[in-house]
């Protein structure tokens, strides 16, 4: 079973969508575009807050 971790090599900012893409076997770019669209439709502030929450909840690749 794969662990959800932030990616070191598929990262643009902190590797959240790279790690999600590796875990779900989906293109990280597709996840990034979907995130931006959803963030714009729901208001920018909740999207930014969700990103920071995920940054602290998802561990870096290689850490325990």
CA distance 60 to 14: 9
Grade residue 64 by pLDDT with cuts at 50, 70 and 90. Answer: low
Beta carbons of 61 and 9 less than 8 angstroms apart: no
Domain segments of the chain: what residues? 16-57
Query: Helix %, strand %, coil % for the chain, to 5?
Result: 60, 5, 40
Which tens digits make up the pLDDT trace of 20-50? 999 999 999 999 999 999 999 998 999 999 9
The answer to whether 17 touches 28, Cβ cutoff 8 Å, is: yes
Please give the share of the chain, as a percent, with pLDDT higher than 70.
Answer: 97
Task: Determine if the pTM surpasses 0.85.
Answer: no
Mean pLDDT on 6-28: 87
């Amino acid at each position: 079973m794969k662990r959800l971790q932030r990616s070191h090599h598929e990262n643009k900012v902190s590797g959240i969508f790279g790690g999600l893409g590796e875990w779900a076997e989906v293109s990280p770019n597709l996840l990034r575009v979907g995130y931006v669209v959803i963030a714009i439709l729901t208001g920018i502030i909740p999207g930014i807050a969700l990103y920071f929450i995920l940054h602290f909840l998802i561990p870096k690749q290689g850490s325990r």
